Structure 1
Amino acid sequence: MPPPIPASPTFEQHPTGFGIGCQSPRISWRFSATEGTASDWLQSAYDIEVVRGDRTESYHEKSSESILVPWPSEPLQSREIARVRVRSYGGQDNAPTQWSAWSTVECGLLHREDWKARAITSLVKQKEGPLRPTRFRKTFTLPASTVRRARLYITSLGVFQAYINGERVGDHCMAPGWTSYHHRLNYEVFDVGSLLKDGEDNTIAVEVSEGWYATRLGFHGGRRFIYGDELALFAQLEVDMEEDGHSPFMVATDSTWESHESAIIRSEIYDGELYDAREEQDDWKTSTTSWEPTREIELPQTQLVAPNAPPVRVTEVVNPIEIIRTPSGKIVLDFGQNLVGRVRIRSVKKPAGHSIVLRHAEVLEDKELGTRPLRVAKAQDEIISAGHEIRDWAPGYTFHGFRYVQVDGWSPEDADTPLTLQSLAAEVMHTDLERTGWFSCSHPMVNKLHENAWWSMRGNFLSVPTDCPQRDERLGWTGDLQVFAPSASFLYRTPGMLGDWLQDLITEQLAHPKAIPPLVVPNVIDESFWPTFPQAVWDDITIILPWTLYQSYGDVEILRRQYPSMIGYLDRGVQRGPDRLWDDTLFQLGDWLDPTAPPDQPGNSRTDGTLVADAYLVYITGLLARISSILGESTAASHYEADYRALKSRFQTKYISPEGLLVGDTQTALSLAIVFDLHDDPKQAAAAGNRLARLVRIAKFQVSTGFAGTPVITHALTKAGHHQLAYRMLQESSCPSWMYPIRMGATTIWERWDSMLADGSINPGEMTSFNHYALGSIINWLHKTVGGVSPLEPGWRKILVQPLPGGTITSADVVYETPYGRLECRWEIRDGDRFWLELVVPPNSSATVVLPGREGETVVGSEGKVTLVSTFDSRKGWPPKALVPPMFEAEDTFV
């Protein structure tokens, strides 16, 4: 039997290894099974070859590890390139695999002294915003020698797009992304050798716009110039020539560069972009026509960072499906999908001075564009014609959340270029993460629910994980991510992006004297609007998110790096009462957006906020005890373990009756107690589960939970032995429910269960978004319980396969690219009660399989496709009935 084949190695949590900011990058490799791969193949040792310059280094290690193994060679230096390949030994005969293909790792600029560039800005400082984008340019002559290697190291105060000799550099959007600019500033690295002309004049041109750096951010009109009030460019082009005798050629930003106003008049995150083609210089990327001088300024004393996150890119193009004429006579294009990105005009010709305005919105209301949920964000792009054809234009430095676009100034009746479905296209933008997880089942609406959550993640993972992508907010709310992170880390490979975001969190958190995390990261909330005070659920992300990433990727260094954040928050940030639980005089967001909360009071929950906070406090204290043990912090582990036991006992005394019921007696309170194991007595836990089941039936299976309860209620019901009630809630179609928005035509997850009312009107609440992923956290239950897969140990080395069918779902299919290889799990019900499972486990890992209807478990290794069968009646107990007064008959509204 042949061994599996190792894939090309990867480095750290970086998407490519190019421009990495680490001197000793850990190495990982996955395995591809070949036909007839040896059964139960496990690695026993590995070889690594490293080529550095003209020398090859070989290393052999007896180890079963293939994920994030230590860099075997001496640390890399700035700009250094190394090639790496691996092979493994394993199986019964301990035979070697084939060598993997070579991978290349290249360091960026690791030290501040590697930078010779100066930050430059325009000669005249603009007095107020929005700041007009600025163009910078430098012409230089390369020696008459072949270019061997050329790298552009570049960043900006703002967002940029670079060109060399008129050609766009890279495909990144909104670069360098949004970070906590006072502390960390990303820089980008591009291979630009193919764009240069040796022995000739070359021109590098860069356009810089506000981006997140200087634009208006926040609520109620927001604040401008939070980070700075001048746009600046910071770039360094380094060229190595082929012939000996030539030292590296460098072009770095300084006062010899020129600058000019852009033809973009303004470009803002919330309000959109205005482009005046009459002010365009068609040859600005290549011309040597004299511009104004530039001015050198001091770059903020911030850390220059080579990010691990992939860049934002256009990942898909969506064409409109319909042109609508509204009752007021407006022209609206329907793209059929609520998405995030921008609209590109393919071709149009209008007289000079003619304006075309694109207004974006997620929904229609009364058959007109529904812009009220945008609050004060204009979300519109405008282009002013110069009298000639405009081809292939899109805004460069903004993005919108939309399904519908109102087009003013251009109609299907235009004589020159009538507006058609082929005139415009929507470009989907998000951080270009690697897709890793897929789910489908026999129920089309459940599949649509999963697809909607996927679209919401795409729309809200744009540089930072945001709450919404359309209105005057788009901020990195910690609570939203905390509840959705397990789902996100199944759908996509997230440790690079979320690990970078956590570095912003810890930096801003530890700058606070009490180590209180900000509610949004990067933090742009005005203290006069929302003073800093601790908040459970939201601030608990300091411990829960690193733990979630550790469970998904097995990277202990994420725990180690974030450990000061964890202990800082738990020891100093939590505001405690006399019993060391939360101080109950502190306002808690708690079970935010409970469906019964009035539209103008989203925090008015059925479940007491302090109860929610205390449940979370017990849970995270136990997590920190485990994390401390993993990190070898034995004294801290003992301390937090003792504190966990004491807090758990106090929680039980305060909230749990002798029978096991919760004082709050709500679905959220009971679910948190069950999922967080807050009962010690199994009989009490069972009583809580039965009480939760009763409340679910009384509620007629409608959702009765908010931010804290919704992610856990189906897990709690399943854990308590009431999985059919979880399926019944999943399939409920009346509002509030997961299926109600789908019945209403939703293509993403809504912020409120009733963001759109049944009559087609928009919820009157100020916080009404149609693209929020938090309530889509149900898909974690779809992956774990319906699909049946979850990690049994961190990093998916050992896998738990335990599908539990129910409802009207008769089959499910889940695929996950684990750190070790591809996991496939498919099941279906045949002949009424025969459960068939097909499973493919990746090499160097194993799965513990628990089949429904069968006692015990089966351990499966990498032995190709395995089929397991059991007898299980998935319709037993279906459909469960609601509890209603006897004079009323409950209507079945499941789909």
Structure 2
Amino acid sequence: MLEGGDPLVSQTRYEAELTTESGTVIATASSRDGVLVDWPFPALESRQVGRLRVRCETSDERWTDWSPPIDLVAGLLDAADWIAQLVSPSSLGTLEDGAPFVFGSFDLPELPVAARLYASAQGIYEAQLNGVRIGADIFAPGWTAYEHRLQYQSYDVSGLLVRGSNRLGAALGNGWYRGQLVYKGNRESYGNRLAFLAQLELDFADGSRRIIGTDASWRACETGILFDDFYDGERRDLRLPMGPQPQGAEAVELLPLDAARLVARRGPAVRETGRISAETMTVTESGRVLVDFGQNVVGWAEVTVRAQAPGTEVTIRHAEVLEGGELARRPLRTAQATCTYLLVGGQEEILRPTFTYNGFRYVDISGVEVDDLVSVTAVVLGTDLERIGWLETSDPLLNRLHANVVWSARGNFLDLPTDCPQRDERLGWTGDIQVFAPTANFLFDTSGFLAGWLEDLAAEQGPRGEVPYIVPDVLRAEYTDAPGWGDAAVVVPWELYRAFGDRDVLRRQYPSMAAWVRRIADQADSDGVWNAQGPFGDWLDPTAPPDDPARAQADQAVVATAYFARSARMMAQTARVLGEVADADEFDMLAARIAHGFERRFVSEDGRVRSDCQTVYALALVGELITDDRARAAAGRRLIDLVVEADYRVATGFLGTPVILDGIAKAGRPDVAYRMLTETGVPSWLYAVTMGATTTWERWDSMLPDGSVNPGAMTSFNHYAYGAVADWMHRTIGGITSLEAAYRRFEVRPFFAQELEHASARHRCPLGDIRVGWRRESSTIHLTVEVPRGTEAFVHAPGASEAHRVGPGRHTWSGPATPG
């Protein structure tokens, strides 16, 4: 039964108003589109300032109010806009030294009406003006494919200037540019010279502009940071200053700069996103103070200590789990993850690093007693993404699982999508984000974050379409094409478009997408079968031994061909969206040939799929690669049998896990899929939850049932790949599935699991909030759906045989409590 709900009122046209120094212009368009429409005005020029607002007319001939105005400032869009030069210390800041500080001075007879700083670096920087830190960005300018793209930041610094003498400067850390990456001793991945670039632009009341840039007049000095590295940590002498020291400063050298590499960032910066106080502090048998924050996080340990003797050395080590009551440090491999501080003494002091970060739930502290600690706080760092998706159920274990997925994404989305945040790796693995992209896009506004990373992927892509395993590519290896990893070139932009409706991301990435698919097409045989023997396969299959994570049950050619078919199909859809009709036909035919070849080569008449394991059946069913009705039904039954025989435990690795529950549901048994989701024995998603996990693990059994750490070298306790299951939870328990880009049309079809009393999901799509909630009362299910303006929903209500098509508003139904 439907109650309430608004009529199908929609937008018919809109007006956009732009005000600049030249005046106000209004552009009108007759269009129902309200998501990422084309800019209706002439392109802004470098430094141009404007104010934008919009309103729309609805189908009942009413105009909305004008939106609140948005202030716009165009960045430096041309290489010729840059007059600043890269400055590097002449002798300081070599690999053996700590973080240098570079600075310059200038006089201001009068204050400007506007002041904007544009800055970047080789390495990472923390800038200050007149002793005050500029902005809240951390690890700027971030990690990109530096040879091709170097990001710059823009800051309004009007309030930091003074009449008379001013001093601008920055401390420089190694970061990704020349810090250790991939393996021990591998430094100088991009170069061995740290450098800073700054351009301060001052606008005065008389209309004049003054530009002050880094140049040969700048100088450099040492700081109290004696050593910094993302893997190993930081060593700091708090007795030494962190700012400019004119006495003893040295000249800088000018380094060559290709200003064409400079780009503005597309997504948010890394910032402090939360703070967690210590839950417990105890003393271990080794005499260290052990701190438990109760949550595995990524960031800094901030420790405030009472007054100590001058020169007291305090050491803080980090780890994700404990073993034998002490930090389990073996999973860090060669990473030291240690911060050391030499205290000023005689006063309360705050210990916190600047140019490193760690993944940790626990720290241990030596050099002071527990009574010397005033406070210990975990400072949470990550790309400052807006949260847009939520799920809650009556099952606390499922809620914890979902929270773990969110925390792993928060920690690993640190300037780029990394695999893990704690050991000597922390790299942008393509396979991980490929499987996780739908989940990420539901939970967070990743539109700019992943779009920027994709530009690096395209920049790093080889001349014949080969896609690196990691982006940015510091491996620089001779690549064997990896199914599921290289497919990120196609899957991630397509999923971004589906979530946010941005055609431009498809336009920008189209050459990259097509190059990958055509590369694999050249390698496939006449049936479209890709006989790949890549290095990963169904990575970390639970049957794989700890020392051989690539040894999977699933046949590599089956997995590769299934992924190839999906990418070809996505390419056809992308080409159609962009109006590339000939390409769409080409990729449609390719996808059909691959599917036919898959069925002919890998599927027997009785529905058995080569290698007969959970992954291959799930890929075949979800990819609709079995067209024969009897064979498809038999394959579905075989998948169910495998799951039941395994006591509902998971038997898939990185590439099978994202599709296993959908495969079971495609076989007609969503109840079995839900039963697998809620299994607590190892391997399962909830096993980690029952073992106290607060983030998603890399292995199903990163910690063994006896509480010891898995002996494998790849044993992270914060890896988001298996968290891809949250996408199924959002669509099936929460019931929200997008049918059209940006959720202009979406389906609501919750599975009313008998074990749940209630569930709710919310997603802030580009057009507004979608809310779905259901609860069980005796033999009745009550369902509530909220539909935002500009969208329509197809709702499968409890007990209904057909979907209800509804428009904007709040709708409720009640019906018999049978599973969905």
TM range (shorter): over 0.9
For the Cα contact (< 8 Å) 1:151–1:238, is it kept in 2? yes
**Alignment partners' CA distance in 2, 1:653 and 1:559:** 33
- 1:290 offset after TM fit, Å? 5.9
**Alignment partners' CA distance in 1, 2:532 and 2:416:** 33
- Secondary structure in structure 2 of the residue aligned to 1:205: strand
**Alignment partners' CA distance in 2, 1:175 and 1:784:** 36
Do residues 187 (structure 1) and 147 (structure 2) align? no
**Alignment partners' CA distance in 2, 1:387 and 1:328:** 25
Alignment-derived partner of residue 135 in structure 1: 101
**Alignment partners' CA distance in 2, 1:224 and 1:258:** 25
For the Cα contact (< 8 Å) 2:664–2:673, is it kept in 1? yes
- Give 1:237's match in structure 2, choosing from 188, 200, 211: 200
- Give 1:521's match in structure 2, choosing from 466, 471, 480: 471
**Alignment partners' CA distance in 1, 2:191 and 2:567:** 37
- 1:302 offset after TM fit, Å? 5.6
For the Cα contact (< 8 Å) 1:182–1:300, is it kept in 2? no
Do residues 502 (structure 1) and 454 (structure 2) align? yes
Alignment-derived partner of residue 16 in structure 1: none
Q: Deviations over 1:625-662 (max 9, x none)?
A: 22112222122222221122112111111101123231
Alignment-derived partner of residue 669 in structure 2: 722
For the Cα contact (< 8 Å) 1:264–1:276, is it kept in 2? yes
**Alignment partners' CA distance in 2, 1:718 and 1:806:** 13
**Alignment partners' CA distance in 2, 1:682 and 1:176:** 55
Do residues 117 (structure 1) and 59 (structure 2) align? no
Question: Runs in 1 of length 4+ with deviation above 6 angstroms?
Answer: none
- Give 1:370's match in structure 2, choosing from 328, 338, 349: 328
Mark the runs of 5 or more structure 1 residues left unpaired by the alignment: 1-35, 877-895
Q: Deviations over 1:747-773 (max 9, x none)?
A: 000000110011111000000000000
- Give 2:16's match in structure 1, choosing from 48, 51, 73: 48
- Secondary structure in structure 2 of the residue aligned to 1:712: helix
Alignment-derived partner of residue 306 in structure 1: 264
- Secondary structure in structure 2 of the residue aligned to 1:816: strand
For the Cα contact (< 8 Å) 2:11–2:56, is it kept in 1? yes
- 1:390 offset after TM fit, Å? 5.1
Question: What does 1:730-745 correspond to in 2, within 5 Å?
Answer: 730-745=677-692
**Alignment partners' CA distance in 2, 1:746 and 1:513:** 43
For the Cα contact (< 8 Å) 2:221–2:248, is it kept in 1? no
- Give 2:776's match in structure 1, choosing from 821, 829, 846: 829
**Alignment partners' CA distance in 2, 1:862 and 1:186:** 41
- 1:101 offset after TM fit, Å? 0.8
- Give 2:792's match in structure 1, choosing from 810, 832, 846: 846
Question: What does 1:630-779 correspond to in 2, within 5 Å?
Answer: 630-779=577-726
- 1:818 offset after TM fit, Å? 0.7
Tell me which amino acid in the other structure corresponds to 2:226.
Answer: I
For the Cα contact (< 8 Å) 1:478–1:519, is it kept in 2? yes
Question: What does 1:209-220 correspond to in 2, within 5 Å?
Answer: 209-219=173-183
- Give 1:59's match in structure 2, choosing from 27, 35, 41: 27
- 1:332 offset after TM fit, Å? 0.9
Tell me which amino acid in the other structure corresponds to 2:88.
Answer: T
**Alignment partners' CA distance in 2, 1:507 and 1:681:** 42
Alignment-derived partner of residue 139 in structure 2: 174
- Secondary structure in structure 2 of the residue aligned to 1:96: coil
- Which has the larger displacement, 129-138 or 756-765? 129-138
For the Cα contact (< 8 Å) 1:120–1:234, is it kept in 2? yes
**Alignment partners' CA distance in 1, 2:314 and 2:90:** 32
Alignment-derived partner of residue 890 in structure 1: none
- Which has the larger displacement, 841-850 or 799-808? 799-808
- Give 1:329's match in structure 2, choosing from 287, 290, 300: 287
Q: Deviations over 1:270-326 (max 9, x none)?
A: 001100123x137x35x6546211111112566101011100000101111101222
Do residues 84 (structure 1) and 52 (structure 2) align? yes
Alignment-derived partner of residue 454 in structure 1: 406
- Secondary structure in structure 2 of the residue aligned to 1:606: coil
Question: What does 1:205-284 correspond to in 2, within 5 Å?
Answer: 205-219=169-183, 221=184, 223-242=186-205, 244=206, 247-278=208-239, 280-281=240-241, 284=243
Do residues 97 (structure 1) and 74 (structure 2) align? no
- 1:577 offset after TM fit, Å? 4.6
Aligned length: 817
Tell me which amino acid in the other structure corresponds to 1:868.
Answer: W
Tell me which amino acid in the other structure corresponds to 1:281.
Answer: P
- 1:702 offset after TM fit, Å? 0.7
- Which has the larger displacement, 531-540 or 805-814? 805-814
Q: Deviations over 1:469-508 (max 9, x none)?
A: 0000000000010000100001100010100000000011
Identical positions, percent = 39
For the Cα contact (< 8 Å) 1:431–1:462, is it kept in 2? yes
For the Cα contact (< 8 Å) 1:155–1:187, is it kept in 2? yes
**In structure 2, do the counterparts of structure 1 residues 575 and 397 end up closer, same or farther at CA, with 3 Å as the change threshold?**
farther
**Alignment partners' CA distance in 1, 2:185 and 2:645:** 43
Alignment-derived partner of residue 351 in structure 2: 393
Q: Deviations over 1:235-280 (max 9, x none)?
A: 00111122x1x621221000101110121011101001100123x1
**Alignment partners' CA distance in 2, 1:258 and 1:589:** 49
- 1:232 offset after TM fit, Å? 0.1
- Give 2:312's match in structure 1, choosing from 324, 349, 354: 354
For the Cα contact (< 8 Å) 1:121–1:296, is it kept in 2? yes
- 1:381 offset after TM fit, Å? 0.5
Do residues 866 (structure 1) and 811 (structure 2) align? yes
Q: Deviations over 1:401-426 (max 9, x none)?
A: 0000010111125xxxx22xx42211
Q: Deviations over 1:756-813 (max 9, x none)?
A: 0111110000000000000011100110000000111111111111111225112111
- 1:624 offset after TM fit, Å? 1.1
Tell me which amino acid in the other structure corresponds to 1:118.
Answer: Q
Alignment-derived partner of residue 154 in structure 1: 119
Alignment-derived partner of residue 625 in structure 1: 572
Alignment-derived partner of residue 555 in structure 2: 608
**Alignment partners' CA distance in 2, 1:130 and 1:621:** 49
Tell me which amino acid in the other structure corresponds to 2:469.
Answer: L
- Secondary structure in structure 2 of the residue aligned to 1:97: coil
Q: What's the Cα RMSD here?
A: 1.7
Tell me which amino acid in the other structure corresponds to 1:217.
Answer: L
**Alignment partners' CA distance in 1, 2:776 and 2:213:** 65
**In structure 2, do the counterparts of structure 1 residues 582 and 658 end up closer, same or farther at CA, with 3 Å as the change threshold?**
closer
**Alignment partners' CA distance in 1, 2:563 and 2:67:** 45
**Alignment partners' CA distance in 2, 1:85 and 1:693:** 54
**Alignment partners' CA distance in 2, 1:518 and 1:222:** 22
Mark the runs of 5 or more structure 2 residues left unpaired by the alignment: none
- 1:535 offset after TM fit, Å? 0.7
Do residues 804 (structure 1) and 751 (structure 2) align? yes
**Alignment partners' CA distance in 2, 1:475 and 1:85:** 40
For the Cα contact (< 8 Å) 1:625–1:639, is it kept in 2? yes
- Which has the larger displacement, 512-521 or 370-379? 512-521
For the Cα contact (< 8 Å) 2:312–2:342, is it kept in 1? yes
Alignment-derived partner of residue 889 in structure 1: none
**Alignment partners' CA distance in 1, 2:145 and 2:603:** 42
**In structure 2, do the counterparts of structure 1 residues 61 and 298 end up closer, same or farther at CA, with 3 Å as the change threshold?**
same
- 1:849 offset after TM fit, Å? 0.6
- Secondary structure in structure 2 of the residue aligned to 1:187: strand
**Alignment partners' CA distance in 2, 1:660 and 1:100:** 57
Q: Deviations over 1:444-470 (max 9, x none)?
A: 000000000000000000001000000
Tell me which amino acid in the other structure corresponds to 1:209.
Answer: G
**Alignment partners' CA distance in 2, 1:766 and 1:75:** 52
**Alignment partners' CA distance in 1, 2:6 and 2:656:** 45
Tell me which amino acid in the other structure corresponds to 1:318.
Answer: I
- 1:379 offset after TM fit, Å? 0.3
- Give 2:165's match in structure 1, choosing from 201, 219, 228: 201
- Secondary structure in structure 2 of the residue aligned to 1:423: strand
- Secondary structure in structure 2 of the residue aligned to 1:405: strand
- 1:327 offset after TM fit, Å? 2.7
